[in-house]
Chain A
């Protein structure tokens, strides 16, 4: 069949190994990584183009047809998210040299970076539940490597918690896979879906139970209420470029997995799982997330906490399980990946510019760094979902879905959390950027400038996703119809 689907996984793995051989020749490694990423981005763009024009691409690993081998499935949803991942990663690889110390770069930053991309792409693309577990391990291992990079005391302390919580969820994951295998005798997702559908309705209770268990596996990674405790501090301690990669990619893998299994496999009892459980969890996730974002003066922590309500928004659309809801979720997911990465980049630049993370000690940064200030302002209103930027389109679809299914409480909470998201971020703008010029700002204007540029690229995409929504929306609509009708996926994998 077509082997293209596996390229986004294999290419960065190769790159990861290559750069591991020359860790200390920094100039070469940097240029090489940047060049490779740009090339990969073009390749992935091409694959995405192919998928949208010719339909789903399935690579059956080793030539063994599903369900016996491992299927790598580049469908509309997965390839879109892989493409988004590559866009962010490309921005990150240009940001990294200015943000990391030479020493951090030498200790295999680029190796872990490529490994992370490989794992993330794999998790998006795989059509096999056990293989998903393997890619989770890959990206987690890469993230362990990244989070301890620099070896600060706080870093080690927080990464220990991060590792332990993730280890626990991995264990639960394997256990759940075993349960599923015991029930339906297969681990290929399309095959599971087919077999679950065949189970008589009165016996489906256990499937619901195991589905919920699997949901929790992913919910821990996606940072859904009440399982996100590990996230804020462990995302704050590493370097901004690493936080950006984590914030933009890792939690999104969790929510993507929920997306996948809860539109493909566990759709037999949506009245309970989706429309009760998910909706309520989405409400609490949004609320507690913004409450967290308002609770601190640490600028980086504010952005980190803002990851959580975004996950709530995405979960909300899955819970609605309607065309609007799913399209809104996909749009919001894409938007949030891009804008979160941009905001982490900008916060990194802000911390360098102001020389502190503490908002109460900052003021007047915009007078020295106007570009940084205005980009941050732009990022803030994009994040809050103000039209005509990317956040608005997703939010509009989600709210339309919620209101047409008469979820008034949900709508009000979503609107209120948008307002509070705006408040939490605009505080940084008002207190940090506005005001009298502070003492102790950096003199290294060029560094701040270099740290600002990659965000320009990402924010430009955000604006395009909003103003140019018409170029993207039809694809997203395709995705939501495609997700609601599972047959295309199943037949592409099993009979392809």
Chain B
């Protein structure tokens, strides 16, 4: 199984090398066997005697992350879809993309996707699942952006990435919570502890996180907006990722976790409401589309909504129907996308207004399309699998119970009605798709190319899918026993045995609903011209695309506005902000922890000379801020320095005083030398508010330092280590001057690196001056 998952990835890595020989053979042929072999591998598990399989490889045991592949019925269904449709899509793409395209890129992305998607459906470890999940988003991003020189491709790629990765991160949050709560990273382990999860304090968070992940990936309302724009990808990609497989990852996730959630009313409410709204809204939107692929995209969204709703219903019948429809949808929608691609390829247009009357030119494609669309519409014919699943959908919508509460009860009454409305529109757009494209008037002048039938091999993949549609339709129970039941068992968590019957009798309510759908659908379709203006008006401006566009656009301009508001480049503003933060937070911290100890009685008495020197220093310090001339400012600043030297003398530290004097003198002289080269000081005409702020911040900072200083002085918790130095300077250090011995011996490393600082400073200044001279010389 591990090989099956990673084989496409390994090929993805060597494809760029394979594609070097593309001028001889189409790369697609070289790699076609990979998905085919995987398909055959998984096929051998199919059968009524199906047994689960498991394979584990350690990866990061410290985090309980292991490549734990577990194959049950649900995984098997998906694995078969992924590899089976994968094979057909690769075959199809060989004719769809010609050799001049960057095939290496295309197949690399496609195979990365194939691996990731297999990984998603086979991983039992939530973190591995999440890893593969993100990779499906990334490969989808790359595939949508395949023709990246198109503006719309880039737009669609970004949109799909933002929305699906948002969901991915949310999923991450959800699975982390699940692992914290259950202490395991295995999904099966979590299902065993379902009660614990449902009763957990975080249950709501878990549910919302997971739902967000599933809804974004499976394009549920209102996150569906990325899928129509994803149609910029080459059609094989649309058929594969954006209808048959990747978009079902969200469905898979919900199905996988439904044994945990199925008993929770909230799960039922959210899933059925969102699912049905998606179904109804998207099927209505599909009717409005004029682009074939756009219409199919909305159709996919609405079908996903339908499956989601059935999972939400959670009855054994609904679950069975959901799983069955996953298979059916993949077959008919895959074939329809391929046919749409063929039409596009052979006529040069996908615009339904320009197409028409193609039946005579493309009879085989038309035949395929008729099966696909009629199956999608749920036309009651025994060889269309879509009819069965639609019928089962209605039945499960009618058969809801087991929940109580006024809201739920009214919801249960509303569900069949919404289901019917959604299905009517499904019927209408299905008819549009077929009749609009293949019947009616042929408009030669509108088409860029003269239409003709596609090459035979290109028709093979959709043909196989249509055969699938019919075989499932004719012999539903054959698949039922071997595959569907096992899947449904895995989702429902219990035995689900169902026979699929074609004929339920005239009095079966579900059949009556089907008839209503067909009748109303035909009526709506025949009178379609009268409805056009309504389609145009609703939803009009109300559109989630606008919300997305608005957000993406705003996020940049708002960020820009916020950032430029404080990143003005003004150092003064930065310092004010920094100091304000320091003052308020530090003072706040000390106040909260009651740390002030401002007592002055322990301090040394203050003498008159000290007061005089200190006042002179203070006055001089204030003086520098108001000086209008650089030289004046620096001289006044010198006063502060010399005042400090005098204070050192008073406190009997002559060596420090001496050092201070030298430094101060050198600084003043240097400054004076430099200032000779500088322009005059510009007088700042600041407002009172501005000056007031400055004064306030300065005073605040000064007071804070004073208070902390005094408190620190008052709170001596231990003896200083300085006594050691005083006592041992001579004996151990061999010198009389303690300061000197500390500098060169006890703390020699400090001194060494202070010397290094001077070394750096000297070189820096030298480099600056020299570089400037060199530049001047040029």
Residues of chain A having any CB pair with chain B under 8 Å: 13, 16-17, 20, 61-62, 64, 67-70, 72, 103, 107-108, 111-112, 115, 118-119, 122, 130-131, 134-135, 137-138, 141-142, 144-145, 148-151, 160-161, 164-165, 168, 172, 175, 178-186, 188, 191, 195-196, 198-199, 203-213, 216, 220, 226-227, 229-230, 232-233, 269, 272-273, 277, 288, 291-296, 364, 381, 384, 386-388, 392-393, 396-397, 399-400, 403-404, 408, 411-412, 415-416, 418-420, 422-423, 426, 430-431, 434-436, 469-470, 473-474, 477
Contacts and interface: CB of A to CB of B under 8 A. Distances in A.
Contacts of A138: 753, 756-757, 760
A149 B767 contact: yes
A434 B148 contact: yes
Interface in B126-183: 127, 130-131, 134, 138, 145, 148-149, 154, 157-158, 161-162, 165-166, 169-170, 172-173, 176-177, 179-180
B185 to A, nearest CB: 11
A295 B173 contact: no
A175 B582 CA distance: 14
Interface residues of B, number: 98
B536 interface: no
Contact of B748 (A62, A207, A226, A291): A62
Contacts of B767: 107-108, 145, 148-149
Most chain A CB atoms below 10 A, which of B205, B563, B575: B563
B596 A206 contact: yes
Interface string B335-372: 00000000000000000000000000000000000000
20 contacts: A20-B763, A62-B745, A108-B763, A134-B750, A137-B757, A160-B571, A180-B712, A185-B717, A191-B721, A199-B717, A206-B712, A227-B581, A229-B574, A229-B577, A269-B593, A291-B563, A293-B559, A392-B131, A426-B161, A430-B154
B13 interface: no
Contact of B567 (A204, A292, A422, A435): A292
A206 B60 contact: no
Given A145-B767, A227-B581, A272-B592, A118 B574 contact: no
Contacts of B157: 430
B586 interface: yes
B590 A205 contact: yes
For the complex, would chain A's binding face be called helix, strand, loop or mixed by DSSP majority?
Answer: helix
Nearest to A230: B574
Nearest to B720: A185
A386 B176 contact: no
A419 B169 contact: yes
B62 interface: yes
User: Which secondary structure dominates chain B's binding surface?
Assistant: helix
Given A103-B771, A182-B712, A430-B158, A419 B763 contact: no
A151 B169 contact: no
B712 A183 contact: yes
Contacts of B562: 288, 291, 295
A147 B586 CA distance: 32
B519 interface: no
Contacts of B712: 178-180, 182-183, 206, 210
Nearest to B149: A436
Given A198-B718, A386-B138, A400-B176, A209 B753 contact: no
A495 B179 CA distance: 42
Contact of A226 (B581, B593, B597): B581
Contacts of A191: 721
B586 A216 contact: yes
Given A226-B578, A474-B62, A145 B720 contact: no
B566 interface: yes
B748 to A, nearest CB: 5
A294 B569 CA distance: 18
B750 A151 contact: no
Contact of B749 (A61, A188, A211, A422): A61
Contacts of A185: 716-722
Contacts of A134: 749-750, 753-754, 757
Nearest to B130: A387
A118 B571 contact: no
A123 B514 CA distance: 76
Contact of B590 (A61, A130, A182, A208): A208
A277 B584 CA distance: 12
A195 B717 contact: yes
B345 to A, nearest CB: 24
B703 interface: no
B154 A435 contact: yes
Interface of B: 58-63, 127, 130-131, 134, 138, 145, 148-149, 154, 157-158, 161-162, 165-166, 169-170, 172-173, 176-177, 179-180, 202, 205, 555-556, 558-560, 562-564, 566-567, 569, 571, 573-575, 577-578, 581-582, 585-586, 589-590, 592-597, 705, 708-709, 711-713, 715-722, 724-725, 745-750, 753-754, 756-757, 759-761, 763-764, 767-768, 770-772, 774-775
Contacts of A213: 582, 586, 708
Contact of B771 (A107, A232, A291, A474): A107
A180 to B, nearest CB: 8
B172 A62 contact: no
A465 to B, nearest CB: 11
B559 A295 contact: yes
A426 B158 contact: yes
B718 A195 contact: yes
Interface centre among B713, B715, B725 (most CB of A within 10 A): B715
Nearest to B769: A151
Given A107-B771, A207-B595, A403-B176, A145 B589 contact: no
A165 B593 contact: no
Given A138-B753, A186-B720, A226 B577 contact: yes
B746 to A, nearest CB: 5
A208 B566 CA distance: 30
A291 B559 contact: yes
A168 B138 CA distance: 45
B717 A184 contact: yes
A293 B63 CA distance: 32
A177 to B, nearest CB: 11
Contacts of A415: 169-170, 172-173
A70 B747 contact: yes
A62 B771 CA distance: 40
B593 A186 contact: no
Given A108-B767, A294-B555, A277 B757 contact: no
A175 B759 CA distance: 25
Given A108-B767, A209-B593, A435-B154, A183 B756 contact: no
A246 B59 CA distance: 34
A196 B771 CA distance: 50
A112 B765 CA distance: 12
Contact of A68 (B173, B717, B725): B725
A211 B705 CA distance: 14
A87 B382 CA distance: 68
Contacts of A364: 149
A458 to B, nearest CB: 20
Nearest to B558: A291
B746 A69 contact: yes
A185 B721 CA distance: 6
Nearest to A111: B763
Contacts of A206: 590, 595-597, 708, 711-712, 715
A473 B746 contact: no
Contact of A210 (B708, B721, B745, B756): B708
Nearest to B161: A426
Nearest to A214: B586
A164 B149 contact: no
B168 to A, nearest CB: 8
Nearest to B763: A108
A204 B595 contact: yes
Contacts of B578: 165, 168, 220, 226-227, 229
B154 A229 contact: no
Contacts of B713: 182
